[in-house]
Structure 1
């Protein structure tokens, strides 16, 4: 098992991939096992955010009445 200090991070401020704790935690997304995964962080974060928003919308709509058309 590799410690997080040996993994890759995406720097949200600079857009650069970094290995280890090169930047303050507030500026880092990760950890990722490879530099290639870390480089895809913006896409991964966007997709996760979209999925969370969809889940929240489904939870908010739970129990609401809809007509036969789903409206």
Structure 2
């Protein structure tokens, strides 16, 4: 799948776009489909929680 066919979340305005329309600093992704890209912030929060837990486990 080319970059133009994948989905991205734009943090500048909260939109979901297919292809690299947003500048790199504003773009999260790529994601395989629109629904997943719409969950970009939720996915990032889940990953952050998991990484924080892994750090706590490592330090204990």
The TM-score normalised by the length of structure 1 is 0.78
- 3-state SS of paired residue (1:10): strand
Number of matched residues? Answer: 60
Larger radius of gyration: 1
With normalisation by structure 2, the TM-score equals: 0.91
Aligned equivalents of 1:60, 1:5: Cα separation in 2: 42
Query: Which sections of structure 1, spanning at least 5 residues, go unmatched?
Result: 62-71
Corresponding position of 2:39? 40
Structure with the bigger percentage of helix? 2
Q: Quote the Cα distance in structure 2 between the aligned partners of 1:54 and 1:4.
A: 32
Per chain length, whose mean CA-contact separation is higher, i.e. which structure has more relative contact order (CA < 8 Å, sep 6+)?
A: 2
Q: State the 4+ residue runs in structure 1 displaced beyond 4 angstroms.
A: none
